[in-house]
Structure 1
C-alpha cells in the first residue's frame, strides 16, 4: 500500500508575502510532496491586498504567528515538514521543538531566546524600527532603497526591485521588539524547546546576510546540535537575506531536498 504524501508547510518571515514561495511549492509538488504556504494572521490573499490593508497586521507577534501555524499543522492528516525563512525559520524551529513536525529547515532564521550575539550589520538593519517604540504594535514598510540595502543586498538593484514589487508587504514590528528583548523577558515568545527529542533540522545561513548574519545562525546551530536529533548547518557564502526568493532560490531548495532525502524524509518515504 502506498504511503500518504508528506505535507510541507512553508512559513514566510517579515516583509515577504507567502506568494514568494511559489517556485518552491511547484518544485516540491513535482517531487511528490503536498506543499502549502499559508500567510501570517492578517495577511491578505495577495501581496497587493496586504499592502492595501496593513492595519490587519497591527499587534501581530510571535505568539499569534506560532498559534496560527500550529492550527494549520494540527489540521493536517499527518505530521508535516516545516520550511521557514527569517522569522518563519524561528517559528519552524519552535513547532519542531513542540513535536508538531517530522523535520524542519530554517533559512536565515531570526534568533531565538538564548542567542546572545548582536552583529553590527543586524543592528543597523533593524534600528530604524527599534528606535521608535511607537511602532511596537504597528506595521513598518520597506522602501525599495532600504529593502535592497538590508534585505536584498547581495543581488542587483534590478532584481531587488522585481522582488520588492512582486512580494514585499508591510510587516508587524512586534516580532522584532520581541526578539530584541528575548533574553531579558520572562516568558518570551521567542523561546523554543531545543532539548526535547525532535526530528532532523537544517539551518541555512547566507554569508552576506545583513538581517540575520551568519554568526546568528551559527549560534543557533551551536545550541541546536546538542539535541539528540540530527542537526546540520550550511553556509552559502555570497548570499543575502533574500536567498529563498531571489534568482538563486533553487540552490537553497536543492539543499533542502537533499537534506530531507538523506534523513529519510523524501516524499516517497511518507
Structure 2
C-alpha cells in the first residue's frame, strides 16, 4: 500500500485521505496527534479505513462535531460486534450507531428515561445482538459513568442486527418485531393468560412467528399440513385456533400479510403449549 497523506483532519483519531482520487476516512488512536495536512500517516497507527459512498459528508460532520469519547465508544462496540458475529457490518453502522448513541447519552444526562416497548422480543429474537448491547452498556458505564437501561441495550442490538450484511432494513425489522409484540398482546387479551416471557414455549412461539412473517413477506412456501391434521387441530384446540385467526386478521388489516390456515394451525399448537404452562 502506498503511503497515505492527510487530506483533512476530523479529530485526533480520524482523518480524510485521498486515495486514487477518492476520499477515504482513516481511523486510529491518536492518528492526527501533532499532524497537519499532507503529513504521512504512520501505517502502524491505522486501525480502520472506509469509503462512505453516499453519506461521506454526514460521517465527516459527525466525526468533527461529536464528543470524541462517543465516537470511540461507538467504534469499540462495532469492532466487538464484528468479532462476536464473526462477520463485517455494513459501513452505514458507523453513522447510525454513533449518531444514535450520542443522542441517547445526551438524553440520559438530561434525566430523560429511555424506553423500548420491544425489549422482550429483541432479547429473544436477536439474542447475540442483545448480548452485544449489554456489553456496550458495561463499556458506557466504565467510560462515562452513565448507567444506560436494558431498553437502550436493546436499541443498540437492533442497530447491530440491521447492519448485518444480509439483514432487513431497520424499518422492516421494527415493523416485524412490532407485529410480533401485537400478536402476543392479542393472545394475552383473547385467552386471558399470563405469559412467562422467559419460558422456552414463549421463545419458540416468537421464533416461529418471526420465520412465518419472513416467509410470507418473501412469498415463500409455508408449512403445509394435511386436511385431516388441520381439522383435528381446529377441533381439539378450537380456542387456540380462533386466537390464531384473530392474530391473522390483525396482520392482514394492519400490515397486509395473509396467513394461510396451515400456518395458523402451527401457531395454535404453540399457543396451546403456552397455555399448558
TM-score when normalising by structure 1 = 0.23
> Higher helix share goes to which structure?
2
Q: Larger Cα Rg: Structure 1 or Structure 2? A: 2
TM-score normalised by structure 2 residue count:
0.23
Higher relative contact order at CA 8 Å, sep ≥6: structure 1 or structure 2?
A: 1
